[in-house]
Amino acid sequence: MVIAVISAVWVTASAGLALVVGRSIRQADERAPFTDHLAGLPAELTVADVLGARATQPSH
């Protein structure tokens, strides 16, 4: 009986947490209109976006 109660509480808590996390992800997606909805990255990602401004390194 104790195992059944613990299992029921565990399932209820994890389902609630999943709903909260899912809602948070949906809100973040709605607030970021210029990002790709699949990866959370800019729609037109370039190498410069990833690497940023880099100083040229002298070769030896």
pLDDT of residue 51: 72
Kindly provide the residue ranges of all beta strands, DSSP E only, lying in 1-60, ordered along the sequence: none
Confirm whether pTM is higher than 0.75. no
Total length of the chain: 60
CA-CA distance, 39 to 3, in Å (whole number)? 39
Q: Phi, psi (5° rounding) for residue 38?
A: -90, -40
Express each pLDDT in 4-35 by its tens digit: 999 999 999 999 999 999 999 888 877 776 65
User: Which residues have CB under 8 Å from 40's CB, separation 6+?
Assistant: 29, 32
